[in-house]
Chain A
Amino acid sequence: AQSVTQPDIHITVSEGASLELRCNYSYGATPYLFWYVQSPGQGLQLLLKYFSGDTLVQGIKGFEAEFKRSQSSFNLRKPSVHWSDAAEYFCAVGEGRGGADGLTFGKGTHLIIQP
């Protein structure tokens, strides 16, 4: 069964600084990978997803993520964070068996932005 690990429970970054949130997955075949963000009181919003092709994926709000098969990683990056980026970030993997597949999520990383 697939699994997702987000090793950082909390990360604090100064506004304007760069950001990298780590995600490692365990899955036998090529995974379908996602990053979601949850702001307080809001639902999970998809930032970006990777299925195949270019391993560097661009998403919304200036985020990008890079799929590295050799490291089983799909880290999320942003060159310069804004205070509005403070939120909970979830990495997820899908198995792609067909049908209405459920996603497997990591525990999330809580991002705190310092002024």
Chain B
Amino acid sequence: EPEVTQTPSHQVTQMGQEVILRCVPISNHLYFYWYRQILGQKVEFLVSFYNNEISEKSEIFDDQFSVERPDGSNFTLKIRSTKLEDSAMYFCASSEEQGVQETQYFGPGTRLLVL
């Protein structure tokens, strides 16, 4: 069964450093998402992406964050200058079609720790 993959599984970085989290969505999917979960808190929507553009973003997704589809398979989340509060599990998801009724398939997550 096709699945969403994410790399790395864990990343440790120093405050102020840039990090790039990578995701490979399911190959025929056209809509991509990033979510995060701070330890002990809810999974929160960050951003959705379609046709090389951001479709929707939450208030969490400020200028420190950016997303990109650099090639035909990868979907990345960049945090330009990490803060301690960016420590979280980051989930990538993809769906075949748009609309909330479409199933979003999630990857296993990248656990980011900012020191």
Interface residues of A (CB under 8 A from B): 4, 32, 36, 41-46, 49, 51, 90, 92, 94-108
Contacts and interface: CB of A to CB of B under 8 A. Distances in A.
SS of B interface (majority): strand
A111 B16 CA distance: 37
Contacts of B99: 96, 98-99, 101
Given A32-B101, A100-B31, A107-B41, A41 B108 contact: yes
Interface of B: 3-4, 6, 31-33, 35, 40-50, 55-56, 58, 91, 93, 95, 98-101, 103-109
A105 B44 CA distance: 7
A103 B112 CA distance: 21
B106 A100 contact: no
Contacts of A107: 40-42
A92 B95 CA distance: 16
Contacts of B101: 32, 49, 51, 94, 96
Given A49-B103, A90-B43, A107-B42, A99 B48 contact: yes
A100 B49 contact: yes
Given A32-B101, A49-B103, A95-B100, A102 B56 contact: yes
Nearest to B5: A43
Contacts of B103: 46, 49
A54 to B, nearest CB: 15
A44 B106 CA distance: 5
Contact of A43 (B3, B44, B50): B3
Given A100-B31, A100-B48, A101-B48, A43 B91 contact: yes
